[in-house]
Chain A
Amino acid sequence: MVTLAHSREPTCQRGRWVGGVGGVGESAGSPSRRSETGPRVDAVIRIGRASSIEILTAAPGQSRDMSDDAEDAGTDADAVDPEEVRHVADLARVDLADDDVDRFTEQFADILASFEALDDVPEIEREEELANVMRPDERHEGLSQDEALSNAPETEDGYFKGPRVS
């Protein structure tokens, strides 16, 4: 979970998209970032100045909400066909060349077949010894807006600039 100290007010502005200033070097990943499947165009999120970034772990412990995937539920996983590879690539936002699809289909069949071994793993009762660790909620210096934008391929007026929506 990446928490930004300053609230990110969603505002609308044509043709640009701004994500949070989640850093490339953060030790955290949030599965929820991926849920932008709908036609969410024209949204802009303003970056707070001097956002301080607090890092916590976030194992992707929940299933992504992929409603268009629901019909796949419970189907036979043994068969990986090129269409399935294309579908997953689409969900993962990775464009694949045709020969990539063929190669991956073949390799995924082998790899997923090996994962079948996990069917034999017994259900394990976990003995978690976890304790919450708290700290005072204090404001710290963070990245400046310029620093946060410094690696963006394109920016405009202090915003990340996304692809033009035609």
Chain B
Amino acid sequence: MTMSTDYNAYVTVEEIDGAEEGPLAGKTVAVKDNISTEGVRTTCGSAMLDDYVPPYDATVVERLKDAGATIPGKTNMDEFGMGTTTETSAFGPVENPAAPGHVPGGSSGGSAAVVAAGDADMALGSDTGGSIRCPAAFCGVVGIKPTYGLVSRYGLVAYANSLEQIGPIAPTVEAAAELLEVIAGPDGRDATTRAPPEAESEQPEYASAADGDVDGLDIGVPTELVEGADERVTEVFWDAIADLEDRGASSHEVELPSVEYAVESYYVIAMSEASSNLARFDGVRYGQSGGYDGNWNETFAESRRKGFGDEVKRRVLLGTYALSAGYHDKYYAKAQDARAWIQQDFDEALTEADVLASPTMPVPPMAMGESLDDPLTMYLADANTTPVNMANLPAISVPAGETDEGLPVGLQFVGPAFGEREIIRAGSALA
């Protein structure tokens, strides 16, 4: 159909029409392939679900249709959202249209790629540990990970419930905010959703905050999230901070000692939740049955061997291990302590600053194929994004510039819970 097929950004190209009128009428919004679309297959980038056709729409998809959006197709992704490069998809890797030969970031790599290539006006992704912000940064577009509970997860195929949120990807902060307005708000089908505490109506306004006005904005810069980053990235980051200061913002360093444990504790929690959530894929209710006979456990194990890719197996196994008797206290309980500590650190830092800023990713986009064989290195690339999910806070990634080699660099603003307007205002000064 379009350029994006060159990048392998869509798993399924099938147009879903929305209402004739509405705030998104005439706009195309691509949807990540782990978000259920009634009658249109939803694969999660997995062979396990390559013919799964949801019998119902996710709440966010209903809201897109009601708002008049046209959905051009379902975007490619790391299998079940498990990856940082969109190379673990059973449907092949996605290439970064903004940096050919490089990964688009993950796991919502297809969504960021179609926006970067101009093949869709906007897109939805999901962010469990950075899966919206990372590809937004790598593809030079805007991505928002909302406060936990702002956007309904009903119809999102679960990976790690306590961490993940659906959010918008768009070329500009204002467009991302418009899309957030459409999908945000309480949903009776997701009991973790709630109205922002200060909102007068259940549908708060976000686009109006994208006024680019950073005069008087107090930016905290967590040293721990800048020190370890690649120099090519930090150069662009500090230039962007200087630019904001020229426009009336001020910045100062803040300390977040707990984030040193963020990646490890994040992966323990995410893998543990994954091992439970993915237990449903047994080849009986859905998935690949293979028609095997005999011992049930062996039959399920055979189906799961064929249906799951390596990264999914790794996380399911490690999650099973972390929750098993004897190791639960050592891994899962400690990870929950780390999570509470991270939350306290962020709360404290945000009493001393309006927003926190860091590079979204500590490295520029990797070359394709570079990181697949080394899972631990890939996990460590999530150092700056995972703490935000652990703290349940909102964050935005905006393009901050490019490295000397022309690779996109993203800047992340983190705000207080339900402080989406703060990070949208800050981000709109840059994109």
Contacts and interface: CB of A to CB of B under 8 A. Distances in A.
B296 A92 contact: no
A96 B304 CA distance: 9
Contact of B344 (A24, A41, A124, A147): A124
Contacts of A57: 161-162, 191-192
Nearest to A164: B293
A75 interface: yes
Contacts of B344: 124, 127
B326 A166 contact: no
B3 interface: no
B313 interface: yes
Interface string A63-84: 1111101101111010000000
A124 B340 contact: yes
A109 B202 CA distance: 48
B49 to A, nearest CB: 7
B317 interface: yes
Interface string A126-166: 11000001010000000100011011111000001111111
A118 B335 contact: yes
B301 A153 contact: no
Interface stretch (B111-119, B236-244, B246-254, B278-286): B278-286
B324 A64 contact: yes
B285 A93 contact: no
Interface in B296-312: 296-302, 304-305, 308, 310
Contact of A24 (B49, B189, B296): B49
A11 interface: no
Q: Residue among A94, A107, A117, A122 with the most chain B CB within 10 A?
A: A94
Interface stretch (B51-59, B82-90, B398-406): B51-59
Contact of A118 (B264, B272, B289, B304): B264
A132 to B, nearest CB: 10
B128 to A, nearest CB: 12
A48 interface: no
A72 B330 contact: no
B301 A93 contact: yes
Contacts of B287: 153
Given A24-B157, A118-B261, A96 B284 contact: no
B369 interface: no
Given A17-B284, A25-B36, A30 B276 contact: yes
Given A59-B273, A63-B328, A122-B341, A27 B320 contact: no
B289 A153 contact: yes
B158 A70 contact: no
B110 to A, nearest CB: 18
Interface in A18-68: 19, 21-31, 33-34, 41, 54-60, 63-67
B83 to A, nearest CB: 15
Interface residues of A, number: 83
Given A19-B282, A55-B191, A94 B314 contact: no
Contact of A63 (B42, B154, B194, B323): B323
A97 B288 CA distance: 18
A31 B289 CA distance: 22
B277 to A, nearest CB: 4
A143 to B, nearest CB: 6
B153 interface: yes
Contact of A160 (B55, B154, B284): B284
B268 A95 contact: no
Given A25-B157, A89-B317, A115-B264, A143 B326 contact: no
B313 to A, nearest CB: 6
A28 B294 contact: no
Given A60-B276, A92-B317, A111 B296 contact: no
Given A88-B317, A114-B264, A119-B334, A25 B42 contact: yes
A92 B376 contact: no
Interface string B33-54: 0001000001000000101111
Contacts of B298: 95
Interface string B328-370: 1011101101101100100000000000000000000000000
A150 B55 contact: yes
Contacts of A118: 261, 264-265, 268, 330-331, 334-335, 338
A133 B276 CA distance: 25
Given A58-B161, A111-B318, A27 B328 contact: no
B301 A90 contact: yes
Contact of A162 (B188, B191, B279, B284): B284
B58 A25 contact: yes
Contacts of A110: 376
User: What are the 10 A-B residue pairs with the smallest beta carbon separation, nearest first?
Assistant: A73-B326, A153-B289, A29-B277, A27-B153, A147-B55, A95-B305, A25-B36, A95-B301, A118-B334, A151-B286
Given A34-B276, A160-B285, 16 more contacts: A24-B54, A24-B286, A60-B332, A88-B320, A88-B324, A90-B297, A93-B304, A95-B304, A100-B313, A107-B376, A121-B338, A143-B56, A153-B283, A154-B284, A154-B289, A166-B293
28 contacts: A21-B285, A24-B52, A25-B54, A25-B56, A27-B192, A31-B323, A33-B279, A34-B276, A54-B189, A55-B189, A56-B192, A57-B192, A60-B276, A63-B328, A72-B324, A73-B326, A77-B327, A92-B316, A93-B300, A94-B305, A118-B331, A121-B337, A135-B188, A148-B55, A151-B52, A151-B53, A151-B285, A166-B294
